[in-house]
Structure 1
Amino acid sequence: MAALRRLWRCHPAGMAASHLHTSSAASAKQHYKMLVLGGGSGGITMSARMKRMLGAENVAVVEPSEMHYYQPIWTLVGAGAKSAASSGRPTASVMPSGVKWVKSSVQEINPDTNTVRTDDGTEISYEYLIVALGLQLHFERVKGLVEGLEHPNVGSNYSIHTVEKTWKALQNFKEGNAVFTFPNTPVKCPGAPQKIMYLSDAFLRKTGKRSKANIMYNTSLPVLFGCKKYADSLWEIVKQRDLHVNLRHNLIEVRPDKNEAVFENLDKPGETKVVEYGMLHVTPPMGPSSVVKGSPLADEAGWLDLNKETLQHKRFPNVFGIGDCTNLPTARTAAAVAAQSGVLNKTIKQVLKKEKPDMKYNGYTSCPLVTSYNTVILAEFDYNLQPLETFPINQAKERRTMYHMKADLMPQLYWHGLLKGRWGGPAPYRKLLHLGMK
């Protein structure tokens, strides 16, 4: 139980991987031209790109985790469509060969002295720094949730330690309320909290239990989805399938012994509602990496403070960032990391040449909204929440082809394209497929 509690308190989003030939626990002071903090999707893809730009001997990655996970597939793991084992590979297998793998946790970042201190006390100095530390999950911020996750009818697709519990809870469901939540914090992959609802609905229909289920989505947000085009389609699905959406409802307590979840009404402070559940899927509150938050690199909210177009730090020009740890005003997804990686690569190349960065990140992100075991709405949009679609079709429609892209093609693109630093998002293909038009 104590070990579980430690996991919930500080579970980094960007769980990463490892490296055979050059991994070592650091002991003496070290120096690198390019130091990458974090071995999640952003850290690994940028270390692969930096290896090509600067040479492997000039690049180091600080990452404690022995395993690297393709987290987008956890939606399907929680619904029984994929195995948890298929989502992970040893960090050693994804770390670019020859790049130094410092198998430690970052304890402190000192941009004034261009140094980083790791948990074993080692000081590493750098010329340039890429921060890719992900975000942190905070299961402990919902009263009773840590205890609740030890019960058979509570799960969460947001951690490798709890995703299989979602599938067990779904299989064990007999009747009553099946409740799905979205917290009152920024989250990674903001479509995922409702994807599992649609899949659960499909599973309960398939197994003949749907008539005994009241499916409920309680979200802290004032909208079902940020980009209106896709939200309109999702509202249609919600109506057709008799799903109940309660906006501005935030989970504040789980009472596992009574199978009760307590929600606050964010529009009516002080008003709470107790919901009995037969199954509960919780998206935990999330927040910035404690290391970033405690450093001069953070904005007032604790996120890495970047220029949203160049991904260069606003105050420290030799510091850059990517992914979930940043304050970029777009949805935190692997697709966003891909698009950011291409821009960041160009930015760094120009900074090294003492040129002014001129390539601009437009906030592109993508969320394959899984709506059943064989359909997906492929949402793609920019900083302004305007659709930025790759294919010359209406992507707000449920499509079987998009499901196969999500379930079969995207994992391959991740392992063999993004993590090798060879996939910067679909922008070139979008231009081609739209015949050069917007």
Structure 2
Amino acid sequence: MFKISSSCARKIKFSSGLIAARTFSVSSASYDKYKCKALIVGGGTGGCSIAAKLSSNYGQHQCIILEPADDHYYQPMFTMIGGGMKTLSQSRRSMSTVLPKKAKWIKDAAAKFNPNANEVITKQGHTISYDILIIAVGLQLCYGKIPGLEEALSVPNGNVTSIYSPKYVDRHLNALKKFESGNICFTFPASPVKCPGAPQKICYITEHFLRKANKRQKAHIMYNTSLPTIFGCKYFADALWKVANEREIEVNLKTNLIEVQGDKNTAIFANVDNPNERKSVQYSILHAVPPQSVPQVLLESKDLTNEAGFVDVDKSTLQHVKYPNVFALGDCASTPNSKTMAAIAAQVGVLHKNITQFSKGKSLDSNYDGYASCPLVTGYDSCIMAEFDYDLQPKESFPFRQDQERYSMFVVKRDFMPLLYWHLMLNGWWNGPEPLRKFFSIFKLN
């Protein structure tokens, strides 16, 4: 309901399905109403990519992107930034330059989903009505859930690091340069994690850095993971165990970081199976991966989410199980895949086809098989290109075994993937390597 000030009238513009209501009064609040064919909540990898496809189909301003951030980051580059192979500026673009021009960007965030009325209320109090809703809000980093971690990360030039946030990503290289001797500890939290290979990648990069700097013999490297295995897909896990053993990296399974005592350079870990069983580790460097969860707005949206707070969609079609005009993709979706950029690329292709079918009143016939790729960088010149599906079976794209460290795969990760991301994926032109896989299959080597 709009309030009209006695001093001025409200101006309402109608144009191509978009309704914008604005007030010019300085004495009363301004709440706008918008209407669109497709509302995409989240302007990250998934939101930007699907918006590019849909806005091209629907035309000018028929898609609205709800996203509060000014900057867009290519987050898969963060591990390389931590090792000094890339810089933070190379991973960042202005949000206005990556979002599709035909879509309307509202610089705001969702405060409440109301799927029964086909509308979203924003934090600024605006209302957006939609025909189709796509939720792509990703995961939030919860550093505060580990007592002492934020305080330790706030110490200038400190020895507690984390490549998961642009705020902290440069700290790791700085700590490595100052390292003299002692324990270097890496963690993997007991929570969902975006890019679950990253905690391991930065561990291997660190080990190689120390070898290059002639400091390896002075370091004891530990990888403490809350998971029961080093990697979910056994085919690649076997290769990673070999890497860890050859490089004398101590791997501790079911070991979860629960506290950081920065003033004592001490990390406290708990046994996942028996939380009362704890151990303290003195560190010279601690690389901490924060617990992660869906944003609070989803945790409060019980109609849309499962018990864990993820948008409850069919794992194949990405359509909501209760509201047929609601879809989700990326890290916030309930699909049980590894949360990676490559998974989003595959999902975007499926989602676009299924939204097109839904709009025509037809059944959804495109299915996502859980494909994910994790380019496991194991140093400054090597990478294991892990690709797998829902069943954790390898789904290799290249005509050779990918459970081996290769320089060619490192070049793909370092040089090719950023170009693919900025110039193809965010423009809606990359839906994963399935065409390449079909082509290379005729040259497949044993």
TM-score of Structure 1 vs Structure 2, range by shorter chain = over 0.9
Q: Deviations over 1:224-282 (max 9, x none)?
A: 00000111011111111110000000000000000000000123330100000000100
Deviation at 1:435, TM superposition (A): 2.6
* Residues 182 and 294 of structure 1: CA distance in aligned 2, closer, same or farther (over 3 Å): same
Q: Secondary structure at the match of 2:313?
A: coil
Q: Which residue of 1 aligns with 2:25?
A: none
1:144–1:256 contact (8 Å) kept in structure 2 = yes
Q: Which residue of 1 aligns with 2:166?
A: 160
1:45 to 2:49 alignment: yes
Q: Which residue of 2 aligns with 1:72?
A: 76
Once the two structures are superposed, the pairs formed by residues 225-304 of structure 1 within 5 Å of their partners are 225-295=231-301, 296-304=303-311
Distance 2:226 2:21 in 1: 44
Write the letter of the residue equivalent to 1:405: V
Match of 2:395 among 388, 400, 415: 388
Q: Which residue of 2 aligns with 1:185?
A: 191
Match of 1:214 among 217, 220, 232: 220
1:421 to 2:428 alignment: yes
Match of 1:176 among 174, 182, 185: 182
Q: Deviations over 1:126-147 (max 9, x none)?
A: 1110000001110000010000
Distance 1:210 1:320 in 2: 48
1:84 to 2:88 alignment: yes
Distance 1:108 1:148 in 2: 34
Deviation at 1:208, TM superposition (A): 1.1
Q: Which residue of 1 aligns with 2:330?
A: 323
Distance 1:136 1:269 in 2: 24
1:125 to 2:129 alignment: yes
Gaps of 5+ in 2: 1-19, 23-29
Q: Which residue of 1 aligns with 2:13?
A: none
Distance 2:118 2:305 in 1: 15
Write the letter of the residue equivalent to 1:234: L
Q: Secondary structure at the match of 2:100?
A: coil
1:24–1:102 contact (8 Å) kept in structure 2 = no
1:309 to 2:316 alignment: yes
Q: Secondary structure at the match of 1:181?
A: strand
Deviation at 1:56, TM superposition (A): 2.7
Q: Deviations over 1:58-106 (max 9, x none)?
A: 1110001010000000000011111011100000100111311000111
Match of 1:340 among 344, 347, 353: 347
Distance 2:366 2:210 in 1: 48
Q: Secondary structure at the match of 1:304?
A: coil
Identity fraction in percent: 48
Distance 1:116 1:403 in 2: 42
2:139–2:332 contact (8 Å) kept in structure 1 = yes
Report the RMSD for the aligned CA atoms in angstroms.
1.6
Q: TM-score, normalised by structure 2?
A: 0.91
Match of 1:360 among 367, 375, 379: 367
Task: Give the paired residue count.
Answer: 416
1:340–1:361 contact (8 Å) kept in structure 2 = yes
* Residues 309 and 291 of structure 1: CA distance in aligned 2, closer, same or farther (over 3 Å): same
Match of 2:40 among 28, 36, 47: 36
Q: Deviations over 1:366-392 (max 9, x none)?
A: 000000101000000000000001011
Write the letter of the residue equivalent to 2:338: A
Deviation at 1:290, TM superposition (A): 1.3
Distance 1:299 1:435 in 2: 42
Distance 1:237 1:29 in 2: 56
* Residues 228 and 24 of structure 1: CA distance in aligned 2, closer, same or farther (over 3 Å): farther
Q: Which residue of 2 aligns with 1:223?
A: 229
2:68–2:108 contact (8 Å) kept in structure 1 = yes
1:417–1:423 contact (8 Å) kept in structure 2 = yes
* Residues 40 and 27 of structure 1: CA distance in aligned 2, closer, same or farther (over 3 Å): same
Q: Deviations over 1:383-403 (max 9, x none)?
A: 000000101100000000100
2:400–2:444 contact (8 Å) kept in structure 1 = no
Moved more, 290-299 or 332-341: 290-299
Q: Secondary structure at the match of 1:205?
A: helix
Q: TM-score, normalised by structure 1?
A: 0.93
Moved over 3 A (4+): 23-27
Write the letter of the residue equivalent to 1:309: S
Distance 1:334 1:150 in 2: 29
Write the letter of the residue equivalent to 1:149: L
Q: Secondary structure at the match of 1:257?
A: helix
Write the letter of the residue equivalent to 1:119: K
Distance 1:436 1:421 in 2: 29
Q: Which residue of 2 aligns with 1:106?
A: 110
1:435 to 2:435 alignment: no
2:310–2:333 contact (8 Å) kept in structure 1 = yes
Deviation at 1:166, TM superposition (A): 1.4
Deviation at 1:24, TM superposition (A): 12
Write the letter of the residue equivalent to 1:415: W
* Residues 53 and 396 of structure 1: CA distance in aligned 2, closer, same or farther (over 3 Å): same
Distance 1:172 1:104 in 2: 41
1:372 to 2:379 alignment: yes
Distance 2:383 2:32 in 1: 51
* Residues 243 and 307 of structure 1: CA distance in aligned 2, closer, same or farther (over 3 Å): same
Q: Which residue of 1 aligns with 2:98?
A: 94
Distance 2:406 2:21 in 1: 47
1:289–1:303 contact (8 Å) kept in structure 2 = no
Distance 1:47 1:287 in 2: 24
Match of 1:62 among 39, 57, 66: 66
Gaps of 5+ in 1: 1-22
Q: Which residue of 1 aligns with 2:8?
A: none
1:157–1:166 contact (8 Å) kept in structure 2 = yes
Q: Which residue of 2 aligns with 1:17?
A: none
Distance 1:46 1:214 in 2: 45
Distance 2:21 2:331 in 1: 26
1:24–1:101 contact (8 Å) kept in structure 2 = no
Q: Which residue of 2 aligns with 1:397?
A: 404
